[in-house]
Amino acid sequence: MDFSTVELTPEQQAFQQEVRAFLDEIVTEEVHEHERRTGDGFNEAVHLALGSKGWLFPAWPVEDGGAGLDRVCQRILALELLRARVPGITASTTGLVWAAVELSADPELAAQLKPEVAAGRVRFCLGYSDPEGGSDIAGATLRAVRDGDEWVLNGSKLWTTGAHNCQYTFLITRTDPEAPKHKGLTMFLVPLDSPGVEIQAIRTYGGERTNAVYYTDVHVSDRHRMGEVNAGWATLQGPLSAEHGAGRPDDGLSDIGILMGTREFEDAIDAAARWARRTTRPDGTLVADDPVFLDRLGALVVETEVSRVTPGLMGRVKSSLSYIDGIAELIDLVGPEALLAHGADGAIEGGVIDYAHRFAQGTATYGGTTEVFKNMIAQHVLGLPRLSLPGSKQFVR
Amino acid sequence: MERFELRRQDLSLDDDQQAVREGFGDFFTKQVPSSLVRDAEPLGFDADLWQRVVAMGGTSMGLPEEAGGDGATLVDLVLVAEELGKVVAPVPLVSHVVASRLLARAGGADELVAAAAEGERIVTLALQPVVGGNRQLVPDAAVARDVLAWSGEGLTLHTLAEPAAHVPNQGSTPLAWFDPAAGESALLATGPEAEQLFRTAVAEWKLLTAAALVGIAASALQLGVEFAKSRRTLGVAIGALQGVAFPLADVVTELSGARNLVLKAAWYATHEPDARPELPLAAFVQAAHAATEATWVSAHVQGGLGFTVEADISLFFLRAKGWSVLGGDPGQDRRQVAAALLAAV
Ligand SMILES: Cc1cc2nc3c(=O)[nH]c(=O)nc-3n(C[C@H](O)[C@H](O)[C@H](O)COP(=O)(O)OP(=O)(O)OC[C@H]3O[C@@H](n4cnc5c(N)ncnc54)[C@H](O)[C@@H]3O)c2cc1C
């Protein structure tokens, strides 16, 4: 067991300084403003700048376009990217998809893409969720039909976040509707500039932009197939299990569980704590001296402390649900000032609580809903039996 | 507050810690069947079991080597306390270990510390400050002649000829009224030092009790999960239904978080005691909540059977609250957790 501060070598210290100085320079107020406006989770200039440093895939060797960082430097970089609030959604989907590309793509295609991905010029998004229901990924309906050396795609996907900033989508398709549900799926890396692809924006009240993507007679070469035909479920598991935190080295340099929104919640809690220290009630007493306020705030702090140490899949559920409950409580504690928008007269620290409240709600849905994770916890952590439903094994529409 | 601090987040146990967990786990599982827990009611003390705990080193391990102990850390001690909680062992180990450590730190008489290490004299701690002549309920005081208490005057050792009378209580613990005026008393420490010693001991008590509550939650969960796998309705195991499975998934989530927060708090208290003094209190708040939720959910999953005295879940349900309430209102701890944040941001 070890929670000690990591002792840095002079080289690691120098690296930390370098990262901070670099991020100070590239992550300008204009970058934050762009993110607030677009909700893209992506900034091309920043992404390319990180790529030029090898910091998009920092563990890769320098000759592959990475930075050859050791685990400590990787952690330094990860923490500094969070501290600087670098928009990172598309960087993270690109990383997830790369894991599958490396395992399952045509080796020549992978070799061709690798330097482009490392430099930040090629980016990937996740085309998993169907309009008819995203939780049942294996129930995908978008059809892919073979046509000589090509495949023809027809159908649509919802929630393909970052599609408008990416070159490829990692798409799950139905290639055999007659086969058992999990045996009729095939994955593709579809170039998003293909004729017949149409991307439409969807906006969330969390401020994010995501997309509906329509595929009409889209032709994809067989070279862009990922893994074997009808073995798409296996192909997809690579990045999914990476997303669920499997296979991390056990050196204490990663988060303990999957955190969803805990940092945004902590930002809001910290802002409320500073607000309480400078704000008086109508009777002249300081909010920070009110024992009722302290009791209720303390309950929220306990929730974030617990979220940070709840392991694996369980951390995903705990962090998200305690954030959603807790941010509503925090707003009650602070009052209407908490919901003043960024830039409004009296907004607290740039509207950080307003933002955290809106942002919280999506964390229970994307990346697999909290219910989907509770199913996994029941089965894999507790060993409870799985309920057999009509669509458990068969493709039913 | 530094939210992006480069610290390790490593909860793995080393070989020695693993050995402590397994050694005490085996011991408690073998020595404490639920029949023994029932037989020890209503007092909640089994003198034979106490002797065996002493022989295992349970009473001495947490004392410094100079005082006849093994210098075990709080990390070791929370591992032991969790195993104790898993079987709700009717022994006053948590209070005794904490009070013995306090006694040794406060310069208590060598013979008394030695007798405490040997488990011959059971010692305990009044968790609330003494105000005037007010009496208070003290955990395990019905089996301990020696009670450490703190008041404006300082830290005092109160010794009675016989332990105070047991007051029957829902958790079947050896609870008794402590009267600061009764028996002999000896002042051990005064001033800010005495207060600091007292606060540290209370935090240790809450931390070890939190660990025991995690143990209670874990056993309650196990009982509920086993029942949910075998009990059937509409042709399926009830555990296949989300209305049953999800509350159990919530329980394992809450208890895993509680367990890890206890361990993290124990690490800080051992290695950097001044860095996060509020963590034991946060761990106590979470563990009390997890045990309450786990025992209720498990009892409910077992339907009417879960409401019967005969069902083992009753032992855990009654102690989840019966033990946690001894630490006082968690609201007090939450306020301290908040105060620590306010001081840091
Ligand atoms: C902002 C945002 C970004 C996203 N980005 C992406 C992305 O980049 N790529 C991508 O592929 N997807 C993305 N998603 C989609 C996301 O993964 C899905 O929304 C999610 O998986 C749920 O699917 P659904 O919305 O279709 O709801 P449904 O699956 O229809 O679920 C509706 C409700 O039913 C519950 N439910 C469903 N099945 C079960 C079950 N078996 N047991 C219990 N309850 C169940 C769900 O928990 C939910 O509450 C994004 C979503 C959002 C909101």
pLDDT confidence bin for A396, thresholds 50/70/90: confident
Q: Please give the Cα distance from A276 to A289 (Å, whole number).
A: 8
Calculate what percentage of chain A has a pLDDT beyond 90: 96
Nearest-atom number in ligand 1 for the CA of A206 is: 1
Ligand 1 proximity of A9 Cβ (cutoff 6 Å): no
Q: At what angle do helices B93-105 and B191-230 cross, to 10 degrees?
A: 160
Q: Tell me, in angstroms, the distance from the centre of ligand 1 to residue B91's CA.
A: 50
Residues A361-384 have pLDDT tens digits of 999 999 999 999 999 999 999 999
Residue at B165 is within a domain: no
Residues A309, B260: C-beta atoms closer than 8 Å:
yes
Single out the residue of B292, B224, B299 nearest to residue B258, CA to CA.
B292
Residue B64: cis peptide before it, omega within 30 degrees of 0: no
Q: Please give the Cα distance from B246 to B249 (Å, whole number).
A: 5
Nearest-atom number in ligand 1 for the CA of A162 is: 8
Residue A383 exposed, middle or buried by CB count within 10 Å (0-12, 13-18, 19+): exposed
CA R_g for chain B: 20
Compute φ and ψ for A143, nearest 5 degrees.
-90, 140
Residues A302, B12: C-beta atoms closer than 8 Å:
no
pLDDT at A320: 98
Residue B72, helix vs strand vs coil:
coil
pLDDT at B125: 98
Name the active-site residue from A35, A243, A264, A266.
A243
Q: Please give the Cα distance from B251 to B261 (Å, whole number).
A: 15
Single out the residue of B110, B142, B106, B141 nearest to residue B125, CA to CA.
B141
pLDDT at A181: 96
Q: Please give the Cα distance from A359 to A323 (Å, whole number).
A: 10
Q: Please give the Cα distance from A197 to A179 (Å, whole number).
A: 27
Contact A387, B236 (CB under 8 A): yes
Does the pLDDT value for residue A317 go beyond 90? yes
And the tokens for B67? 């005082």
Residue A193 exposed, middle or buried by CB count within 10 Å (0-12, 13-18, 19+): exposed
Terminal CA-to-CA distance of chain B, rounded, Å? 5
The residue among A3, A293, A392 with the most chain B CBs within 10 A of its CB, best to mutate, is: A3
Residue A213, helix vs strand vs coil:
strand
Nearest to A311 among B260, B268, B338 (CB): B260
Low-confidence ranges of chain B (pLDDT < 70): 1
Ligand 1 proximity of A161 Cβ (cutoff 6 Å): yes
Residue at B316 is within a domain: yes
Contact B174, B45 (CB under 8 A): yes
Most distant CA atoms of chain B, gap in Å: 68
Nearest to A3 among B1, B7, B221 (CB): B7
Q: Tell me, in angstroms, the distance from the centre of ligand 1 to residue B220's CA.
A: 32
Residues of B whose CB is below 8 A from A318: 253-254, 257
Q: What is the DSSP letter of A257?
A: B
pLDDT at A209: 98
Q: Please give the Cα distance from A260 to A245 (Å, whole number).
A: 13
Distance from CA of B6 to the nearest CA of A (A): 6
Q: What is the dihedral of CA B280, B282, B285, B291, to 10 degrees?
A: -70
Q: Which residues pair with A203 in a beta bridge?
A: A209
Ligand 1 proximity of A366 Cβ (cutoff 6 Å): yes
B177: left (phi over 0), alpha (psi -120 to 50) or beta: beta
Ligand 1 proximity of A128 Cβ (cutoff 6 Å): yes
pLDDT at A244: 53
Amino acid at A335: G
Nearest to B5 among A5, A8, A299 (CB): A5
Cα–Cα distances in Å, from B236 out to A27, B239, B241, B244?
A: 56, 8, 8, 12
Contact B94, B82 (CB under 8 A): no
Scanning the structure block, which residue is given the tokens 């992978």?
A: A110
Report the pLDDT averaged over residues A334-348. Answer: 97
CATH number at residue B221: 1.20.140.10
Ligand 1 proximity of A320 Cβ (cutoff 6 Å): no
Global pTM reads 0.97
User: Which range marks the domain in which residue B301 is found?
Assistant: 195-344
Terminal CA-to-CA distance of chain A, rounded, Å? 50
Q: Please give the Cα distance from B345 to A352 (Å, whole number).
A: 15
pLDDT confidence bin for A241, thresholds 50/70/90: low
Residues of A whose CB is below 8 A from B9: 3, 252-256, 308-309
pLDDT at A266: 98
Q: Which residues pair with B138 in a beta bridge?
A: B176
The residue among A286, A303, A305, A325 with the most chain B CBs within 10 A of its CB, best to mutate, is: A305
Nearest chain A Cα to B269, which residue?
A3
Ordered structural domains, chain A, with CATH: 10-87 (no CATH), 124-243 (2.40.110.10), 262-366 (1.20.140.10)
Residues A197-233 have pLDDT tens digits of 999 999 999 999 999 999 999 999 999 999 999 999 9
User: Count of CB atoms within 10 A of residue A272's CB?
Assistant: 30
Contact B155, B129 (CB under 8 A): no
Does the pLDDT value for residue A249 go beyond 80? no
Contact A297, A272 (CB under 8 A): yes
Q: What is the DSSP string of A50-113?
A: HHHHT-SSTTS-GGGTS----HHHHHHHHHHHHHTT---HHHHHHHHHHHHHHHHS-HHHHHHH
Does the pLDDT value for residue A242 go beyond 80? no
Ligand 1 proximity of A198 Cβ (cutoff 6 Å): no
Residue A220, helix vs strand vs coil:
strand
Residue at B209 is within a domain: yes
Q: What is the DSSP string of A342-386?
A: TTSTT-GGGTHHHHHHHHHGGGGTTTS-HHHHHHHIIIIIS-PPP
Single out the residue of B244, B251, B246 nearest to residue B222, CA to CA.
B251
Residue at B69 is within a domain: no
Active site residue A305: no
Contact A246, A301 (CB under 8 A): no
Distance from CA of B342 to the nearest CA of A (A): 6
Query: Count of domains in chain B?
Result: 1
- Write the ipTM: 0.97
Does the pLDDT value for residue A247 go beyond 60? no
Does the pLDDT value for residue A238 go beyond 90? no
Lowest mean pLDDT among A113-117, A390-394, B226-230, B266-270: A390-394
And the tokens for B208? 């070890």
Does the pLDDT value for residue A294 go beyond 90? yes
Ligand 1 proximity of A369 Cβ (cutoff 6 Å): yes
Nearest to B253 among A295, A301, A310 (CB): A310
Residue at B249 is within a domain: yes
Distance from CA of B214 to the nearest CA of A (A): 13
Residue at B278 is within a domain: yes
Ligand 1 proximity of A133 Cβ (cutoff 6 Å): yes
Residue at B251 is within a domain: yes
Q: At what angle do helices B330-344 and A262-278 cross, to 10 degrees?
A: 80
Q: What is the DSSP letter of A149?
A: T
pLDDT at A237: 86
Q: How many CA atoms lie within 13 A of A67 on its CB side?
A: 19
Residue at B247 is within a domain: yes
Report the pLDDT averaged over residues A183-194. Answer: 98
And the tokens for B118? 């040997």
Does the pLDDT value for residue A94 go beyond 90? yes
Nearest-atom number in ligand 1 for the CA of A130 is: 26
Q: Count A/B contacts: CB-CB distance under 8 Å.
A: 190
Residues in chain B: 345
Report the relative pairing of strands B136-138 and B176-178 from DSSP bridges: antiparallel
Q: What is the DSSP string of B269-295?
A: HHH-TTT-TTHHHHHHHHHHHHHHHHH
Alpha carbon nearest to ligand 1 atom 6, residue: A159
Does the pLDDT value for residue A182 go beyond 80? yes
Q: What is the DSSP string of B38-64?
A: HHTTTTT--HHHHHHHHHTTTTTTTS-
Distance from CA of B254 to the nearest CA of A (A): 8
The residue among B79, B286, B334 with the most chain A CBs within 10 A of its CB, best to mutate, is: B334
